[in-house]
Structures are given as C-alpha cells and as structure tokens.
Chains A and B, each alone.
Chain A
Amino acid sequence: MLCLSCDELDLAALVRVATESGDHPPGRQGAIVTFLGTVRGGNLGRRVVELEYQAYEPLAVRAFEIIAAEIADTWPDARLALHHRIGRLRPGEVSIAIAAASPHRAEAFSACRYAIERVKQIAPIWKREIFEGGEAWIEGATADPSDSAARQAAHRRACG
C-alpha cells in the first residue's frame, strides 16, 4: 500500500498491510514502527491556519515505489506501507502515515526513518502554508532520485 488521497489516514490499515504484505508468513515480523507527520500550528514564527498539499500523483506513487525498492535493497526483510494525504489540512491533522515492519526492531526503525527522509527528498508533493497575514509555498529539496549524496544522507539519518 503506497498511495495518496484526500481522505483521512488510517494507520491501523497501514500496519495491517505492512505486517501481512509480501511472502512473509504470519508472525514473521517482530517489530512494527509507525510514523505520523502532522501539521504544525506554528512555523518560522508564523501562526499557521492551514496547509494546502498539492501532488503530481502518478509520479508521487512512483517515488514511493522507488523508496520501497531502496528499502528492500538495504533491509530485505522490512515491509513498507505509506499513505500521504493531499488537499487542505489544519494544524494537528495527519499529513503522512508510514508503517515499517521487520523481524527485528533495528531494521523497522531504520526503514521507517529512511522512508520519511526520502519522501521529503524526492516525492513530487508541495505544501502551501496559509498563515495569519499571508501565504507561501514551502520549498525543500530538488527532487532527484538518482542523487546518491541525498540517498546517503537519508541512510545516515536512518541509521544514526
């Protein structure tokens, strides 16, 4: 399960998919690490009213597949499920949910952290911050999945 939608995110469903997906028999996984990203009510000293998420959906799904393949390369026993929400979100709402499952906790923690770092680096998703007194596009990384320095940086954070 690697997807985007305007719907509220269902972490329990992601956990189920990450635990049951693939060729793993039931009970093979011994650790599930989850991550929820939520809309912060304050940013750069501004009071955030809402965030508007825009995505190039087919390429975003492709980016999630690339991230899942990178995780499979590095942590072959880990399984990933990821759902990013788009549209307008208010402070406190969940914008992204990730579940990473693995036989042992170290790989599950690393895979989950790696996934969110890579989403921020390469997924074609943009947020416009609507704050009291104005609005602004937030711009992060230039999206390039073949940038090995970025990939290594994500790996270092995942294993740090």
Chain B
Amino acid sequence: MRVTIRLFARLRDIAGAADLVRDVPEGATVETAWQALATEFPAMAPHRASLSAAVNAEYARFTLALSERDEVVFLPPVSGG
C-alpha cells in the first residue's frame, strides 16, 4: 500500500525532500515505514530514539498500523516558542 511520508527539520535536510511517497507492505506499522526510510537514508537511523510520530495529523505510536494513503510524519525533537 502507498503512504506519504512528510519530513521536517533535520530529517528533511537528510532526505533533500519534504514529502516522499513510498510503498509499504500490508500490515505495516509506523515502525515499518521508519525502518524502510532509515534503510534508504542511513544518516537518519541514529535519530530514531529521539523521534516521535504522527499519522494523519494526530500523534501516533510507532506500533500503529498504517492504511492506504496515510500521511506519516516523523517528528524530530521540537523547538518552538
């Protein structure tokens, strides 16, 4: 199934893109999508411990199962204000 991955801050710099459209297997979770991304962009891998995630503009756990056309976002540590 096809999902959109949106990237911000450091992760966007590493990928050189704000949005990526990728196929993930049926039954994939947020973690599955992350693993595929970190394989494609190895420089992202060390950031896993400090990331949180969102799916379709709601905060999400990495164990959440994905659906076709979901928007998955990996959030580096935030620094608003």
Binding site for B on A (CB under 8 A): 37, 53-56, 58-60, 62, 84, 95-96, 116, 119-128, 137-146
A55→B75 CA distance, assembly (Å): 10
Q: Please name the residue on chain B nearest to A53 by beta carbon.
A: B80
| Chain A interface, >50% SS class | mixed
Chain B residues 13 to 59 lying within 8 A of chain A, measured CB to CB, are 13, 50-52, 54, 57-59
Residues of chain B at interface, number, CB under 8 A = 21
A127→B78 CA distance, assembly (Å): 8
**Once the chains bind, are B9 and A123 in contact (CB under 8 Å)?**
no
- 6 smallest CB-CB distances across A and B, nearest first, come from A125-B80, A58-B57, A126-B9, A139-B77, A138-B79, A140-B79
- Using known A-B contacts A58-B57, A144-B59, determine if residue A124 contacts B75 with beta carbons closer than 8 Å: yes
**Once the chains bind, are B79 and A124 in contact (CB under 8 Å)?**
no
Residue from B8, B73, B81 with most neighbouring chain A CB atoms (10 Å): B81
Chain A residues closer than 8 Å to B54, beta-carbon distance: 56, 59, 124
A27→B50 CA distance, assembly (Å): 45
**Once the chains bind, are B51 and A142 in contact (CB under 8 Å)?**
yes
Q: A61 to nearest B CB, angstroms?
A: 8
A95→B79 CA distance, assembly (Å): 12
Q: Contact check: which of B12, B50, B58 meets A139 at CB < 8 Å?
A: B50
A37→B80 CA distance, assembly (Å): 10
**Once the chains bind, are B80 and A137 in contact (CB under 8 Å)?**
no
**Once the chains bind, are B9 and A128 in contact (CB under 8 Å)?**
yes
